[in-house]
Amino acid sequence: MQAEVAGNYIDEKAATITAVSNRIWALAEVGLHEEQSAQYLADALRTEGFDVRLGAGGMPSGLEATWGEGRPVIGFLGEYDALPGVSQKALPLREELSPGSAGHGCGHNLLGAGAFGAVIGLKREMEARGLTGTIKYFGCPAEENFGGKAHMAREGLFTACDACLTWHPGPLNFVRSAASLAVDSMNVTFRGRTAHAAADPHNGRSALDAVQLMNLGVEFLREHMPAKARVHYVITNGGGQPNVVPATATVWYYVRAPQRGMVDELYQRVIRCARGAAEMTETECDIELLDAIWELLPNTTLEKVLAECMARVGPPRFGEAEREFARKLSESFRPGQREAFLAAAFEGAAAVPEELGGQLLNDTVVPRVEAAAQPRGSTDVGDTSWCCPTAQFGMACSAIGTPGHSWQFAAQSGMGIGHAGMLQAAKVLAEAGLVLLTDPATLAAAREEFARRTGGKAYRCAMPDGFKPPFHQLANK
Ligand SMILES: [Zn+2]
């Protein structure tokens, strides 16, 4: 490791960084409601000498913390939103921490605390070396559902950076070069007329009928969509009980495609299905956009920096307690889940690296992978990546085969497995930050690649001016 001062400081502060992670893990606040998590991080950053601003991007849980002066400006992205329904104790058996509540089934407590560890370590390194430059910690709300980074991007927070770095907890230590899908998220609410469903159904105009006909329209549309597009929905309000013709009904849609422009087009076609359904059922329909984010623009120059830094820093160090926990937990995995995960992670690569054959906890550094052609999900890191060169890596914080967004993931995010990965991720980020602060040629190459990939297309937030994040959509439970 070259950023030795940073590495030593991260070790010295391991208890504090872990406490931040555990606090966020126990709070388990869902997207746009992470006020206490953000506040806790804000206090911790202030204690370390950062200038802290809450309310970034027009969200109470949005956070921007700054230290240093002048260029380059290097941003580090943190997240801390939980997922509904996966509350879990730090045990290898299913046991809810708070029944029916949210939990950190994607490890964003580790993500936020790991990036915190990186900036406090890097600050020490810069002080020791007398480096000029600015480091920023961005606390980004609602990655899982409402694209907090897009709101922060609209404020210009990322265009003000020379580069941004982040990471994500997962089962593997590697840089996986993968794009993501741009997405629009919206509520479609139909309004009809209620009636007694048996006595005078002819007087009713069912909003639920409209939802079903819209969905049917979209199912037929599916055949004529671009192959890599993805559309899915849930009915969040389908009426009260069967003997009342529903006067209102709501369906929540995601429309995804590999490029922002494709989503814009497909969104209009889905809306046509809604309007057609309203016409058929003599109902009215309202469309409420909830979130609109961009696809990820990869930056190979930065990805290589991250891969080199990870090779220097090394993998997380797991002890016997962590191995035993992983072994017990893996009894809850479906047969073949581990193999299926590895096949998917390395789809498009020559083969699954041999070294992973017998590993349950990944304690080696896996070479950088160019991912398969079909992007799997969406992330609001996409919006950041259109504002400045951006890259991310994965660090092992869960056993190989752990399902995504699961109680098993939540369990590991609150104990030694997650903590070991988080502390190592903090060191990799700090190491990469030092490279970008001290090697102008690499930073210039990353910026050149960024200019080439954007093709001169300027970022514009896909949400209309004056758009407010949908604080009402999910309750914090
Ligand atoms: Zn996540």
Distance from the CA of 414 to the center of ligand 1, in angstroms? 15
pLDDT at 273: 98
Quickly list DSSP for 214-256.
Answer: HHHHHHHHGGGS-TT-EEEEEEEE--S-TTB--SEEEEEEEEE
Distance from the CA of 144 to the center of ligand 1, in angstroms? 6
Distance from the CA of 417 to the center of ligand 1, in angstroms? 17
pLDDT at 261: 95
Quickly list DSSP for 264-290.
Answer: HHHHHHHHHHHHHHHHHHT-EEEEEEE
Give me the helices (H) in 64-143, please. Answer: 108-129
Rounded-to-integer distance, Cα 423 and Cα 82, Å: 20
Give me the helices (H) in 363-459, please. Answer: 381-385, 407-413, 416-438, 440-454
Distance from the CA of 271 to the center of ligand 1, in angstroms? 29
162-180 residues labelled b (16+ CB within 10 A) or e (exposed): bbbbbbbbbbbbbbbbbbb
Distance from the CA of 108 to the center of ligand 1, in angstroms? 6
Rounded-to-integer distance, Cα 87 and Cα 413, Å: 11
Distance from the CA of 274 to the center of ligand 1, in angstroms? 31
The gap from C-alpha 363 to its chain's centroid, in whole angstroms, comes to 24
Distance from the CA of 273 to the center of ligand 1, in angstroms? 31
Distance from the CA of 95 to the center of ligand 1, in angstroms? 22
- Is the distance from CB of 415 to CB of 325 less than 8 angstroms? yes
Distance from the CA of 266 to the center of ligand 1, in angstroms? 25
Instruction: Give the environment of ion ligand 1: residues with CB less than 5 A.
Output: 106
Distance from the CA of 344 to the center of ligand 1, in angstroms? 17
Rounded-to-integer distance, Cα 123 and Cα 128, Å: 9
Distance from the CA of 406 to the center of ligand 1, in angstroms? 11
Distance from the CA of 167 to the center of ligand 1, in angstroms? 10
pLDDT at 96: 97
pLDDT at 34: 97
Distance from the CA of 318 to the center of ligand 1, in angstroms? 22
Rounded-to-integer distance, Cα 229 and Cα 173, Å: 29
Distance from the CA of 168 to the center of ligand 1, in angstroms? 7
pLDDT at 373: 66
Judged by DSSP in three states, 83 sits in: strand
Judged by DSSP in three states, 157 sits in: coil
Distance from the CA of 107 to the center of ligand 1, in angstroms? 7
CATH of domain 182-293: 3.30.70.360
Distance from the CA of 104 to the center of ligand 1, in angstroms? 9
Distance from the CA of 46 to the center of ligand 1, in angstroms? 26
Tens-binned pLDDT, residue by residue, of the chain (477 aa): 799 999 999 999 999 999 999 999 999 999 999 999 999 999 999 999 999 999 999 999 999 999 999 999 999 999 999 999 999 999 999 999 999 999 999 999 999 999 999 999 999 999 999 999 999 999 999 999 999 999 999 999 999 999 999 999 999 999 988 889 999 999 999 999 999 999 999 999 999 999 999 999 999 999 999 999 999 999 999 999 999 999 999 999 999 999 999 999 999 999 999 999 999 999 999 999 999 999 999 999 999 999 999 999 999 999 999 999 999 999 999 999 999 999 888 887 778 898 898 899 999 999 998 876 678 889 999 999 999 999 999 999 999 999 999 999 999 999 999 999 999 999 999 999 999 999 999 999 999 999 999 998 899 999 998 899 999 887 766
> Which of 367, 427, 395 is closest to 76 using CA atoms?
427
What is the value of pTM for the model shown? 0.95
Distance from the CA of 198 to the center of ligand 1, in angstroms? 47
Rounded-to-integer distance, Cα 288 and Cα 189, Å: 8
Distance from the CA of 113 to the center of ligand 1, in angstroms? 14
CA atoms 28, 31, 34, 37: torsion sign: positive
Distance from the CA of 32 to the center of ligand 1, in angstroms? 15
Architecture of domain 4-180+295-454: 3-Layer(aba) Sandwich (3.40)
Distance from the CA of 240 to the center of ligand 1, in angstroms? 34
Whether residue 72 is preceded by a cis peptide bond, meaning omega within 30 degrees of 0, is yes
> Which of 366, 369, 374 is closest to 303 using CA atoms?
369
> Which of 156, 141, 281 is closest to 211 using CA atoms?
281
Rounded-to-integer distance, Cα 147 and Cα 297, Å: 16
Distance from the CA of 223 to the center of ligand 1, in angstroms? 30
Structure tokens at 108: 């964003």
**Residue written as token pair 């009980």:** 241
| Residue-range domain boundaries for the chain | 4-180+295-454, 182-293
